[in-house]
Amino acid sequence: MKIAEIFYSLQGEGSLLGVPSVFIRTSGCNLRCRWCDTPYTSWHPEGADMSLDAIVEEACSHGAAYAVVTGGEPMIAPGIIELTQKLRQAGMHITIETAGTVYADVACDLMSISPKLANSTPEGPFRNQHERLRNNPDVLAKLMRQYPYQLKFVVAAPEDLEEIRTYSADKRNIILMPEGTRPEVLQERSQWLAEICKREGYRYSPRLHVDLWGDKRGV
Ligand code: SF4
């Protein structure tokens, strides 16, 4: 499996915010978000091929009880089902971070789905492919039926709320995060997004890893 990085950190987003976790980042994505914060797994995929056993061994070496399988898009990684089964055998709690456009019968304790809104669509040659693939209601519904889930939306402007309201899910499972990788941008957006969450009853999530360490790889 092509792995961009494995590192130990704190979960920076969502309902497990702050939980010490080992991150396994697969390389390769079916989407090309305009603001992708890991372009080394999508626009310019990098990484090394690793066996599943080597991945699990390195993940377990940090002593974490929580594993976050992320990307890229981990659900398209060849061997993803077997990898999650091995992590479960190792006794880890498994979060999968996905855009929710591809289904795989993985072992997973929290399906952390980040549906991509229109604000993610890039200009240029990938525009049509991204627009066609970014929303797959059937896959999304299946993931939400089969697993404990959260829907995390990246919000760039207040107008994004109109699109978010079209997703039918229990509001208690919907989390809004400001878009941005620079602390000053996140700070400005967090102000109006917090007010939106109070008004509409959505949960707010900061991006803890950016607050703590800035826009860096492997944190
Ligand atoms: S789905 Fe994630 S990894 Fe893929 S392009 Fe979008 S932000 Fe980047």
pLDDT digits (tens, 9 = 90+) for 105-141: 999 999 999 999 999 999 999 999 999 999 999 999 9
What is the structure's pLDDT at 120?
94
Of 169, 183, 176, the C-alpha closest to 202 is 176
Give the ligand 1 atom nearest the CA of 71: 3
- At 65 the pLDDT is 97
**Residue 28 beta carbon below 6 angstroms from any ligand 1 atom:** no
pTM of the model: 0.94
How many helices (DSSP H) and strands (DSSP E) are in the chain? 7, 9
Q: How far is the CA of 186 from the centre of ligand 1 (A)?
A: 19
Where is 215: in which H helix or E strand?
none
Rounded to 5°, the CA angle 86-91-96 comes to: 65
Q: How many CA atoms lie within 13 A of 30 on its CB side?
A: 19
Q: Which residues of the chain have pLDDT under 70?
A: none
- Centre of ligand 1 to C-alpha 170, Å, is 24
Instruction: Give how far Cα 76 sits from Cα of 104, 130, 146, 173, 179, Å.
Output: 8, 15, 18, 24, 24
Spatial contact of 153 and 177, defined as CB atoms under 8 Å apart:
yes
Is 135 a pocket residue for ligand 1 (Cβ < 6 Å)?
A: no
CB 11 within 8 A of CB 19: yes
Closest ligand 1 atom to the C-alpha of 99?
Answer: 1
Report CA(59)–ligand 1 centroid distance (Å). 22
Between CA 174 and CA 152 the distance in angstroms is 6
* Atom 6 in ligand 1: residue holding the nearest Cα: 33
Q: List the residue whose alpha carbon is closest to atom 8 of ligand 1.
A: 36
Determine the residue type at 60: C
Q: How far apart are CA 52 and CA 111, in angstroms?
A: 21
Q: Report the chain's C-alpha Rg in angstroms.
A: 16
Q: Is 41 in the pocket of ligand 1 (CB under 6 A)?
A: yes
Residue 48 pLDDT: 96
